[in-house]
Structure 1
Amino acid sequence: MTQEDSALDALVRKRIRGLRSAMGWSLDDLAARCYLSPSTLSRIETGHRRISLDQLSAIARALGTSLDQLVESTADDDVLIRPQHDAARGLTTWMLNRQPGVIVAKLRLTKPAPTSAEALKVHPGRDWFTVLSGAVTLVLGDRRIVVETGQAAEFSTMIPHAFGAHGGPAEALGILDQDGRRTHLRSLPDGGGDEDTEEGRGS
C-alpha cells in the first residue's frame, strides 16, 4: 500500500467513526444496521482489520452516504477551482461544481456578443445567469438585451442565442445544463488553464 493509499484508508476509517458519532450511534447500533458484528466494526474503525468492498458498501448505506463520498480523495485538485481561459473567445471560466447534470460556472467575458446570426446557438433546455460585475449583452434571436450588474436572465435555449461583454469586461455566474456546457464552453480544456493571463487571475 502506498503512502497515499494508506492516508486515504485512515481517512475512510475516520469518516466512518465520525459519521457514526454524529448520528449518536454506538458501535452496536451501526453494526446492526450494516449486518456486522460490533467487534468487526470496531476493528475496521481502528485500522486492525482490512475493509472489504462489500463491508464498505454496507457501512456507507447504513450511514446514509454513498461509497464514492466515503472514499473520495482529499487532494488539492478536489478543492481548488482553477480558471480555464479561452483567449480566442475572450472567455475565462471557473467550474464551480463537478457533478454531472446541471453545471454552475463563473464566467469572465472580455469580448462583445457576436453580431452575425450564424454565430447564434440553439440547444435543448434553459440557461440562467446573473451578472456579478460589468454588463452582459444577451442576444436572443433578433433581440439584444443588456443585463447589468445585479440583474439576472433566464431564457429558453431553443431560441438562437449568444452572450458577450457589453462596454468592457464582465463577470457572471451561470447555470447551464449539459447541452449548454457543450455549446458555450465546448472549446475549454477539461483541466488546467491559463492562470498567467489577466483574465485568468482572480476569483
Structure 2
Amino acid sequence: MDAELEQTLAAIGPRLRALRRDRGMTLEALSAATGISVSGLSRVESGRRRPTLELLIPIARAHRVALDRLIAAPATGDPRVHLTPRRHRNGSVLVPLTQYPGRLRVFKQVIAPKPRKLVTHAGYEWLFVLAGELLLVLGERELTLRPGEVAEFDTAEPHWFGPSGDTPVEILHIFGPQGDKARVRARPAALRRHEPG
C-alpha cells in the first residue's frame, strides 16, 4: 500500500471521532443509529480497525453527510463546489451551503416576490443582502436592507422577509436552530480607530 493511501486511511478514525463529538453524540447513540457495536466504532475511531464501506456508509447516513466528507478523498484538481439548488414554483431559489443538521445552517437565496405571512419558530436568523432590496418585517417594524447590510433577530418574534419591490432579492441566510447566533470575530472599524496604539 502506498504512503498516500495509508495516510488517507489513518486520518479517517480521528475525523470520525471529531465529527461525532462536534454533534454531541456518544458512541452508544451512534451505535444505535448505525447498528455497529460500540467497540467496533471505538476501534475504527482509534485506528485499530480499518474502515470499510460497510462501516462508513451507515456512519455517513447517521450523520447525514456525504461519504467523501468522512474519507477526505484526494483532491481531483477541480476546486468547484457542486451545489444543488432547490427551485420553487414562484421563482425563488434556495442553495444550501452547509449540510450539517443541528448546527448553524447557511443558505444562499434568491427570493421572488411573495405574499407577506408573519411566522414564529425557535431559532436565530442572520441575513446579509447581496443584491436587490430586502424588506424585513419584525412584529410592528418594517426595515429595508440594501446590498451589504445585515440584520439578525430571534425567530420567536413574528417575522417575514422578502423583496421590497417586485424584483427578486439575493441574500445569504444563516439560521441557528436552537437560538445560536452567528459569531463575528472582527471589531467595527470605528472601535479600532479609537483604540490606543
When normalised by structure 2's length, the TM-score is 0.53
Distance 2:155 2:139 in 1: 10
Question: Quick one: percent identity of the two aligned structures?
Answer: 30
Decide whether aligned partners of structure 1 residues 178 and 156 sit closer, same or farther in structure 2, where only a CA change above 3 A counts. Answer: closer
CA shift in 2, pair 1:11/1:106, >3 Å: farther
Shift of 1:162: 0.7
Aligned to 2:8: 15
With over 3 angstroms needed to count, the CA separation of the structure-2 counterparts of 1:160 and 1:53, relative to structure 1, is: closer
Is the contact made by 2:124 and 2:177 (CA closer than 8 Å) also made in structure 1? no
How far apart in 2 are the matches of 1:138 and 1:12?
A: 51
Structure 2 stretches of 5 or more lacking a match? Answer: 13-39, 49-55, 61-68, 180-197
Q: For CA contacts below 8 A with separation 6 or more, give which structure has more relative contact order.
A: 1
Write the distance in 2 (CA, Å) between the matches of 1:149 and 1:123.
Answer: 26
Matched, 1:178 2:177: yes
Aligned residues: CA RMSD: 3.6
Counterpart in the other structure of 1:56: 44
Cross-structure match for 1:71: 71
Structure 1-normalised TM-score? 0.52
Q: 1:86 aligned to 2:80? A: no
Counterpart of 1:120 in 2: which secondary structure?
Answer: coil
1:103 deviates by 0.7
* Distance (Å, rounded) in 2 between the aligned partners of 1:94 and 1:169: 15
Q: Report if aligned partners of 2:129, 2:145 keep a CA contact under 8 Å in 1.
A: yes
Distance 1:146 1:156, change over 3 A: same
Q: Once the 2 structures are TM-superposed, how far is the Cα of residue 179 of structure 1 from its aligned partner?
A: 7.1
- Kindly indicate whether the alpha-carbon contact (under 8 Å) linking 1:123 and 1:179 is maintained by their aligned counterparts in 2: no
Per the TM alignment, residue 166 of structure 1 is displaced from its structure 2 partner at its CA by 1.6
1:120-176 superposed Cα distances (whole Å, 9 cap, x missing partner): 111122110100001110011121111111100001111100111122211000101
The structure with more radius of gyration: 1
Once residues 174 and 54 of structure 1 are traced to their aligned partners in structure 2, the CA distance between those partners, rounded to angstroms, is 37
Aligned-partner Cα distance in 1 for 2:160–2:96:
19
Q: CA deviation at 1:177?
A: 2.4
Mean CA deviation greater in 67-76 or 123-132: 67-76
Amino acid at match of 2:92: L
For structure 1, the residue ranges without an aligned partner over 5 or more in a row are 1-9, 20-51, 61-65, 181-203
Contact 2:120 2:158 in 1 (8 A): yes
Counterpart position of 2:27: none
Contact 1:12 1:71 (C-alpha < 8 Å) held by counterparts:
no
Segment drifting more, 141-150 vs 171-180: 171-180
Aligned partner letter, 1:98: Q
The residue that corresponds to 2:141 in the other structure is 143
Structure 1 pair 11–163 and aligned structure 2 pair: CA distance change class (3 A): farther
Q: Following the alignment from structure 2 to structure 1, what is the Cα–Cα distance between the partners of residues 120 and 5?
A: 44
Q: Is the 8 A contact 2:10 2:47 kept in 1?
A: no
Distance 2:73 2:141 in 1: 46
**Which residue does 2:163 correspond to in 1?**
165
